[in-house]
Amino acid sequence: MKKIIALFFLLFIGSAFLFAEDAPIKSGGWRWDEGVNLNGKVFYDVAESYREQDGWVNIKGYGKLHFWLYDTYTYWNGDAKVFVDQCLPAWIESMGYVIDFDYIKRFKPNERLASSIKTLMSQKGCDIAVTFLVGDRPDYPHVHINYYDRENTSYWTEIIPLCSTELFVYAIQDIAARTACVGQYSSTQSGGNVHEDPHDYYTAQTMAYRLKQESGNMTRTSTFYGICFDYAQFAFDYINKYLSFFKSQGLYEEQFWIVGNHDNSSEITLQYPGDENNYNAVQNGVYVIIPNNSVRNVKSHDGATDHAWLWIERLDGVWFWIDPTWTDNVGYPVYGYIKNGKEIQCRPFEEFCVKYPNSLKKLPLPPPCGKKKMASKTANSKNRKETIDDAK
């Protein structure tokens, strides 16, 4: 195969797999109304011109995998441009995913390609084999495309990760619930007394299995007793600790912030944790740094005041918010996105909910993920006093 413009990806994980059963070209209805002459034959159906077909292989450690196969030599003289540039991206987008071009990898040649895949390609007379895999969480969705180069008699693979609305939304709800599990609200610290503490819906035992995987001991989970800024700082630090993971789930660069307000629900300030040696404000006992140009005129969810929570930007430029404190106090993830100058609450996944009142079903779903936003001027900066200018 000679001409390849776009790239596609593989990321194997050791879990059960779901398969995209619809044929990439056929399911998209790709046709030429006037017909196209390729090597002496007129085609109207793009799938037919690439001899689209499928097959299955068993691979040790991964089980039975479904592949879509294509022949670019018989009629296209090795040109895969129409297939790779148009049909495959449309197929991926039709399933609710976008391609993350920042993490492309290439293996050329791929000397470790499974012999069963090579055999399938040979039997079908094809030089491209495509499979789409998504974990059962789902984590790390990916398209795996193998190519056979006749001129060099070698196989090679191109890799690119995919992001979806579900992955990002799943990840941020997980942060809200996880933070709620290890936190307990303190009315004493907010000026009341212990008898006024709201019900603590999420405890370490609520998500014992998930916490056990991280702590190594189900009964020994570090917890904190505090108020909204404590919850916000815990969530912020958690994202920072596992930054590469959250980027793989759709976080844009390093655009995540603690946000807070005072008595004006339409004036939200972006900030980040400091310490006793480096801070310019103390919010309810928590050291924070408030950079210049940090105020945003956005109406807080439910008109909340004297409060703190988090903002997180998705790779398509849409800002989301999560409120770990309210999550703990109401029994379900309180999160949403920002649109037209206000925070809009979204429907949570039931698996994260201790309570699931019928009113949640009336909440909107989060917006689908669009095309990836271009890199900002401060994309490689770790200085939040610089990146604040790109937090728009």
Phi and psi torsions of 382, nearest 5°:
-100, 0
Contacts of 250 (CB under 8 A, 6+ apart): 163, 164, 167, 168, 171, 314, 315, 369
pTM summary value:
0.68
In the chain, what percentage of residues exceed pLDDT 70? 88
Distance CA(121)–CA(147), nearest Å, equals 9
pLDDT at 275 over 50: yes
Phi and psi torsions of 48, nearest 5°:
-65, -35
pLDDT at 214 over 70: no
223 confidence band (pLDDT: 50, 70, 90): confident
pLDDT for the residue numbered 11: 25
pLDDT for the residue numbered 2: 38
pLDDT in tens, 228-259: 999 999 999 999 999 988 988 889 999 999 99
Average pLDDT for residues 103-112, to the nearest whole number?
90
Whole-number mean pLDDT of the chain?
A: 85
| Of the candidates 155, 352, 355, 162, the residue with the CA atom closest to the CA atom of residue 250 | 162
Long-range contact list for 62-66, CB < 8 A, 24+ apart? 62/12, 62/17, 63/17, 65/17, 65/19, 65/131, 65/133, 66/19, 66/20, 66/21, 66/131
Residue 187 burial (C-beta neighbours within 10 Å; 0-12, 13-18, 19+): middle
Average pLDDT for residues 94-109, to the nearest whole number?
82
In the chain, what percentage of residues exceed pLDDT 90? 58
pLDDT for the residue numbered 213: 53
pLDDT for the residue numbered 6: 26
Average pLDDT for residues 141-163, to the nearest whole number?
89
Average pLDDT for residues 305-330, to the nearest whole number?
95
Yes or no: say if 36 and 49 are a contact pair by the CB < 8 Å rule. yes
Higher pLDDT, 175 or 285: 175
Give SS3 for 376.
coil
pLDDT in tens, 55-83: 999 988 778 889 999 999 999 999 999 99
Average pLDDT for residues 23-48, to the nearest whole number?
95
**Pairing of β 224-226 and β 183-185:** parallel
Distance CA(188)–CA(182), nearest Å, equals 18
